[in-house]
Amino acid sequence: MPRKSKTVAPKELGIATRSIHAGEDRLRYADSITTPIVQTSTFAFKDSKEIEAYTKHGKARFEYGRYGNPTEQVAARRLAALVGAEDCVVFGSGMSAITTTILALVKSGDHIIITDDAYKKTLEFCSSYIHRFGVDCTIVPFGHYEELEAAIRPNTRFIFSESPTNPYLNIFDLTRLRKIAKRHNVLTLIDATFSTPLNQRPLEWGVDLELHSCTKYLAGHNDILAGAVMGRKELIEEIRGLHKAVGGVIDPHCCYLLLRGLKTFPLRMKVHNETAMKTARFLEAHPCVDRVYYPGLESHPHYETAKAQMTGFGGVVSFDIKGNLAAAKRFLDHLKLCYIAPSLGGVETLITHPAIVSYYGQTRKERYALGITDTLIRLAVGIEDPDDIIADLDQALRKSHPAKRTARKK
Ligand SMILES: Cc1ncc(COP(=O)(O)O)c(C=O)c1O
């Protein structure tokens, strides 16, 4: 259906205000303060005249759940307002947003480019599936801007990357990306899940489409799956068209939970940023830790780029524990507060050990070629008291290295 924006929170308002109010009509069903969950798969027409008003004359209304739903529409408007986009489509998962967007932008004979430390399933889609549609994909090493530019062909449709990336929190230089893309007239897509609209604003840096797994910080409670793509109206319309056919829609109840999560997103994100920074510094000084990867630390290779294009550095900290695979497993087994689980961005602190979780099934040699060591730990800090998170990490680290005590590195 045609989408008339009735946002009550225009761009000039602050991000906290937009997170609470953007996208909502001022007056709602039964004078409810919250956005109602319109839990329906289809919408009734009063009579044939009304059908024609919709089909022939483009009356703005809903028809069928896969083509839109009032709760979903509010979520889409709010997300667009948060990132400063003209339009947005919301999906049933981040991967649905990514795959539908990619498919909507290409046709047989096109070429796409993706950087090599994109999210594992995004890479898999681009390297193992997209060629079935006659689309060629080049994977270029992250941060190799000359190689990236050299990979562009006359039929290249877009460059896809992430910033920060998983698990090393590499930062893509968005100024360089914009310049390269402009020289060759190709679109740019950034998955900004790890940074969120509070910390980094890719569209303002000239990126064409911004994607998010809203499963993470935007919804924020480890209780739903959702995804979104935001950008210029004409691009989003193309994606929306395919979305209606592919059908990876988000359920209205999930949309409600997303809207509810968004209301506290800036508050939560500030805590994630602060706690991750404090935890990264703690880990950097810990005798049982070899190396810490956090873009807010001066030791991170992309610290300068991060400082230039981000206002906060996010809630994920990766680190190499000293020792071997067994030490990393001992560390996991002694955790009492932090949960061992994939994902990030929720209120609970989650820890994953990529070697035995996401890269399980690959040989050690294959994993090391991808930079995934036996001792790498990815920590997604929640919003518990930072001292409690740190105390849990400290006791588990010490128990993973029985010979080492709490003495700090000099
Ligand atoms: C950076 C990034 N993009 C996309 C996704 C996929 O999102 P979802 O799990 O919501 O499908 C993930 C999942 O972890 C992710 O980390």
Amino acid 357: pLDDT: 84
The CATH code for residues 15-263 is 3.40.640.10
Of 22-26, 204-208, 236-240, 314-318, least confident by mean pLDDT is 22-26
Among residues 23, 77, 6, 82, which one has the least CA distance to residue 265?
82
Amino acid 360: pLDDT: 78
Higher pLDDT, 164 or 403: 164
What's the angle, vertex CA 37, arms to CA 57 and CA 19, rounded to 5? 95
**Res. 405 pLDDT band, cuts 50 70 90:** low
How far apart are the C-alpha atoms of 54 and 201, rounded to whole Å?
37
Among residues 162, 174, 274, which one has the least CA distance to residue 213?
162
pLDDT tens digits, one per residue of 234-247: 999 999 999 999 99
In this model, does residue 40 exceed pLDDT 80?
yes
- pTM score > 0.85 for this model? yes
Residue of 90, 114, 193 to mutate, ligand 1, most atoms within 8 A of C-beta: 193
Distance 112 CA to ligand 1 centre (A): 20
The DSSP element (H or E) to which 123 belongs, if any, is: helix 120-124
Amino acid 192: pLDDT: 98
pLDDT tens digits, one per residue of 60-77: 999 999 999 999 999 999
How far apart are the C-alpha atoms of 22 and 19, rounded to whole Å?
6
Query: Going edge to edge, which strands form the sheet with 227-231?
Result: 87-91, 227-231, 209-213, 187-191, 156-162, 111-115, 136-140
DSSP reduced 3-state for 267: helix
Which residues line the pocket of ligand 1, CB cutoff 6 A? 93-95, 119, 162, 166, 191, 193-194, 213, 215, 225, 227
The CATH code for residues 266-400 is 3.90.1150.10
In this model, does residue 408 exceed pLDDT 60?
no
Amino acid 4: pLDDT: 46
pLDDT above 70 coverage of the chain, percent: 96
Amino acid 362: pLDDT: 84
In this model, does residue 406 exceed pLDDT 70?
no
Q: What are the sequence ranges of the domains in the chain?
A: 15-263, 266-400
pLDDT tens digits, one per residue of 251-310: 999 999 999 999 999 999 999 999 999 999 999 999 999 999 999 999 999 999 999 999
Amino acid 9: pLDDT: 57
In this model, does residue 5 exceed pLDDT 70?
no
Amino acid 173: pLDDT: 98
**Res. 331 pLDDT band, cuts 50 70 90:** very high
- Section 181-186 average pLDDT: 98
Residue of 216, 225, 257, 318 to mutate, ligand 1, most atoms within 8 A of C-beta: 216
In this model, does residue 410 exceed pLDDT 80?
no
pLDDT mean across residues, the chain:
94
* 128 DSSP assignment: I
Amino acid 367: pLDDT: 87
**Res. 28 pLDDT band, cuts 50 70 90:** confident
Distance 212 CA to ligand 1 centre (A): 8
Distance 67 CA to ligand 1 centre (A): 24
Amino acid 359: pLDDT: 80
In this model, does residue 1 exceed pLDDT 50?
no
Distance 170 CA to ligand 1 centre (A): 16
Amino acid 6: pLDDT: 53
The DSSP element (H or E) to which 328 belongs, if any, is: helix 325-333
Amino acid 402: pLDDT: 79
* 30 DSSP assignment: G
How far apart are the C-alpha atoms of 50 and 227, rounded to whole Å?
33
Among residues 35, 25, 67, which one has the least CA distance to residue 250?
67
In this model, does residue 180 exceed pLDDT 80?
yes
